[in-house]
Amino acid sequence: MAGKTSDFPVKQRQLNEDVQTGDYKPCYLIYGEEAYLRLQNRDKLLKGLGITGNSMNFNRYGKDSQPAQIIDMAETMPFLADKRVILIEDSGFFKSGCPELAGYLKNPSETTLFLFVESEVDKRKDIYKAASKLGFEMECTVQDEEMLKRWLRSKFQAEGKSISPGAQSVLLDRVGTDMSNLSTEIEKLVCYCIDRGEIKEGDIEAVCANYLTSSIFAMTDAISGQEKKKAMEVYYDLIALKEPPARILSLITRQFNLMIRIKEMTDNKRDRRSIAQSLKLADFVVGKYQNWARSYTYEQLRQALEICASCDEAVKSGRLSDVISVEMVIIGCTSFRRAV
């Protein structure tokens, strides 16, 4: 499933323009699921404002901060500067409401610039409405695959490297969509390929941590073993890592497609190496699929694919939420009587 990018690109351009022109708004609210983008934009604003950790007119607040203390500081005139910058991060104010600060933001000091950075907000709260009206708000959503691929290309280009569309797909399949994890793996790939200009699929397989693929394999292991609880635990871990449920469903579907194909090839006396060459998989990976496939009859594998397709269609038609769709697939596919 594509991440909800909505107006993010437009908002990003607006924030970049504020930094470039130095024409800052009185308040910035940066929030959303994608921590990498939240922190990147926080740092971009602070750098543009000339703020360092020991800047005289800079104050940082976090969880358990007292609204009265923040308001008192906001009312304090900056020393030898036009603005005081107050960073409030992971405070929870935009979930609880914080009426004191919500009221203050309706008529704040003109010499204070507020920067709020939060993972979650409740848009019904007055503080959200006040911050949005006073200045600028931007939701840092989990990005869709096309946006991530453009971002990957730009990151590698900045390092004098190129990466093919196929290698981009391998990187996303292996690492997942979390931009912090991807950023770490990009650094490793750039160092690994320091004497070459192109990042290849083999490079990714050689040096990148197998975040997503290993989790999907663990989930498939649990499903084929009829271990519903274990499969659910792996799924919830992936959700915590912000993997889109529709992407997980797509990968589970791919697993069952490969199982039925490998089962047919194996029953037709194809050896493991020829199967691996035909499907462009490693020999040991084919062995995994063969072991999984032995737990199912052909009819059960077809039923599993039908469950996946049915849940995917239900999500696209709005009859089922994306998170529940994968839960339904796990429940359905761990309810078969074992073939062996």
Q: Where are the domains of the chain?
A: 8-139, 145-207, 211-333
pLDDT tens digits, 1-44: 334 445 888 999 999 999 999 999 999 999 998 899 999 999 99
Q: Whole-prediction pTM value?
A: 0.69
**Tens-place pLDDT, residues 265-309:** 999 999 988 998 888 776 777 888 899 998 899 999 999 999 999
Q: What is the pLDDT of residue 81?
A: 87
pLDDT value, residue 175: 85
Q: Which residues contact 299 (CB under 8 A, 6 or more apart)?
A: none
Select 211-333's CATH number: 3.40.1550.10, 1.20.272.10, 3.20.20.70, 1.10.760.10: 1.20.272.10
Could you give the count of Cα atoms lying within 13 Å of 252 in the half-sphere of its Cβ? 37
57-112 per-position pLDDT tens digit: 999 999 889 999 999 999 999 998 889 999 999 999 999 999 999 999 999 999 99
Q: Let me know: does 146 contact 111? Beta carbons within 8 Å.
A: no
> Average pLDDT of 193-202?
92
CATH class of the domain defined by 8-139: alpha beta
Task: Please count the residues of the chain.
Answer: 340
Order of strands, sheet of 27-31, starting from the edge strand that comes earlier in the sequence: 58-61, 84-89, 112-118, 27-31, 136-139
Of the options 1.10.8.60, 3.40.1160.10, 3.40.50.1110, 3.40.50.970, the CATH number for the domain spanning 145-207: 1.10.8.60
Domain 8-139 and domain 145-207, same fold? Reply is no
Distance CA 329, CA 323 (A): 11
Coil/strand/helix, residue 27:
strand
